[in-house]
Chains A and B, each alone.
Chain A
C-alpha cells in the first residue's frame, strides 16, 4: 500500500526500492507523538477555559470541556484594569493597518526591483538584504521611544504602527515573487503599447503577484498580532494591545486560571481563523520561501 515495490506491475520492470521514502511504523508513531505534543497545550488551554478553578487544580488534568466558557469569557472582558476589549480592538486596527501598508509598499518596491531598471538598483537591494539581519525594533528601542515622546505620540496607535512598516523581508520576498511571476517581456510589451509604469504595475504586475501578496499578508498579520515588547513600552496599560492586556490579566488575576486561559483562548481566535482559512497558503508560502532561501 505504501511501498514503491508493491505498485510495480511485474518482476520485469521492478522499480528501485526507495527505503528513504518508506514510512515505517516508527515514523508513524513519532509523527503521531509530535502532533500530539503540538496540539496538547492548545487543547488543554481551551479545556481549562471552559471549566471552573477547582477543575483546573485537579490531577490528573481534565480532558473534556466543561460548561463555563461563556461565563469565563464574559469575566475576561469585564476584568478590571485589563482593558481586554480595547486590547483586541487596538490589535485588530494595528495588525490590519500594518499588513495593508506593508503589502502595498512591498509590492511596489518589489516590482521596481524585479521589473524596472534604474541606477543604484543593486546597491539598494543589497542594503535591504543586509538590514534584514538587524533586529531594528529591538536595537533602536531607546531612540524610537524618545522620538515618540518628542512628537507627543506615546500612547497612540500610530506610535505602534509606524516602526513596523519597515519590513525589509516583505520587499525582498515580493522582489523574488515578482521576478518569477511577471515575465520581463510582458512589461516591455505593455510599455511599447504606451502604458505608463504605474499602469503596468496596476494592470499587469499586481494581478500576477496576488498570491505572493496574500502569503506576505498572512505572515505580517501573525507577526504583528504577536508583537509584545514595543507596545508594552509605548502604550499605557489602559490602552493596550491584546498581548499587553494578557500580561495585565496574568499579573492581576494570577491565581484565577480559568480567567487567564479564557483570555488566551480569545487572543488566538483571529490567528485560528487565519489558519483555518489560509492553512494551505501558509504552508505553500513557507515552502516556497524556503526553496529560494
Chain B
C-alpha cells in the first residue's frame, strides 16, 4: 500500500545530513543513536499505519474492485464494469433508502443541534449544581444503542406504548408508529436525538466558555438583550464548533443502522414497504442476506459520495448562516 513513509519533502532539521558512513566512523554507539533518531519515529507510527493499511485502506479499495463485478456467494465473479452502478442508480429501492436516510437525518439533526445550542446556553448560566446538571444531560450517552432502540420501540408501542397513552389524553387515537413514513421517521429521529442532544450541548458549552466575556459586556452597554447577544455573539462565535458537530452528525446520520433495525423487529427491510430502511440497512441486506456482494459494494461507494456531498452542502450552509447574522 502507498503509505508515503518517506514521501515528505521537508528537509530534516534535527538529524545530521551526511549519511551513514560518516557516522559509522564515530563508533557503533553514535550509529545506534543516529539510528534511534532516524528510525524510531517510524516505528512509533507504524502500528497505526500497518493496521490502517490492512483493515482500513485495503477494504476501501477492494470495495471499489468488488463493485465492478458481479460477485456472488462462493466467490464466483465476473467483471461487469460499471453495471452495478447503473443498476443501482435506477433502483427504486435504493433511492427509497437514500430518501429515508436523508429524511431521518434532517428531522433528527436540525432540531437536535438547535436544542443543543439552547441547552448549552442555559447550562452556561450561573446556576447551582452545574456538574450535576451537565452529567444529567449526558446520561443518555451511557445507554447502549440497542437498549435505546428497544426502550423507545416500546415507548412507541401501538397498544401499550407510553407515547400513545400520553397522546390519548389529548384525544389522539392510537398511532401505529411503524406503519407510515412520517411516523416511523419521527420515532427513529427521537431515538437519535435523545441520545446525542446532550452530548452536542456539552460540546457547544465548552466552546461557549472560550468566548471572551467583554464581548457580552460591550453588547450590554450598547443595550443588546440576552436574546440578541445569543444570536449576535454566541452563535457566530461558535461557527467552527457548529461545523464540526454538523459534519460528525452527517457521518452518523448517513450510516444510521441500529435504531431503524431494532425499530423494525431486527429485520433489514425497514418495515413492510421499506418505509424506514436506511442505506446502511440496504447494504447489509444486499450483501449479507441476498449475497450480492458486488451490488452492496457499489452501494457502499455511492453512500460515501453522498456523505461527502452532504458534508460539503452542510458546510456551505452553516458558513452562509453565520455570515448573514
A288–B41 CA distance with the chains assembled, in angstroms: 27
A125–B160 CA distance with the chains assembled, in angstroms: 53
Instruction: Tell me which residues across on chain A come within 8 A of B261, comparing CB atoms.
Output: 228, 247
Task: State the Cβ distance, B158 to closest chain A Cβ, in Å.
Answer: 12
B280 touching A233 by the CB < 8 A rule? Answer: no
B138 touching A44 by the CB < 8 A rule? Answer: no
Q: Is B276 an interface residue, CB under 8 A from the partner? A: no
Given contacts A105-B51, A135-B307, contact A39 B136 (CB under 8 A): yes
Question: Which of A21, A139, A171, A243 meets B48, CB within 8 Å?
Answer: A171
Given contacts A18-B217, A21-B125, A141-B283, contact A233 B4 (CB under 8 A): no
A113–B136 CA distance with the chains assembled, in angstroms: 36
A118–B39 CA distance with the chains assembled, in angstroms: 9
B52 touching A166 by the CB < 8 A rule? Answer: yes
Task: Write the B223-252 contact mask toward A (1 if CB under 8 angstroms, else 0).
Answer: 001100110011000001100100100010
Given contacts A37-B194, A122-B8, A250-B266, contact A111 B122 (CB under 8 A): no
A29–B14 CA distance with the chains assembled, in angstroms: 59
B144 touching A264 by the CB < 8 A rule? Answer: yes
B296 touching A142 by the CB < 8 A rule? Answer: yes
B136 touching A38 by the CB < 8 A rule? Answer: yes
B66 touching A143 by the CB < 8 A rule? Answer: yes
B12 touching A117 by the CB < 8 A rule? Answer: yes
Task: State the Cβ distance, A141 to closest chain B Cβ, in Å.
Answer: 7
A228 touching B48 by the CB < 8 A rule? Answer: no
Could you tell me which residues of chain A, from 210 to 267, have a CB within 8 Å of some CB in chain B? 222, 225-226, 228-229, 233, 242-243, 246-247, 250-251, 254, 257, 260-261, 264-265, 267
Can you sample 17 A-B contacts with CB below 8 Å?
A16-B220, A18-B220, A30-B119, A42-B140, A42-B151, A105-B47, A136-B55, A136-B56, A140-B63, A141-B300, A162-B51, A226-B258, A246-B150, A250-B150, A260-B150, A264-B146, A282-B138
Interface residues of B (CB under 8 A from A): 3-8, 10, 12-15, 33, 36-38, 40-42, 44-45, 47-49, 51-52, 54-56, 58-60, 62-63, 66, 118-119, 122-127, 131, 133-148, 150-152, 154-155, 160, 162, 165, 194, 198-199, 202-207, 209-210, 213, 216-217, 219-221, 225-226, 229-230, 233-234, 240-241, 244, 247, 251, 254-255, 257-258, 261-262, 265-266, 280, 283-284, 287-288, 293, 296-297, 300-301, 303-304, 307, 311
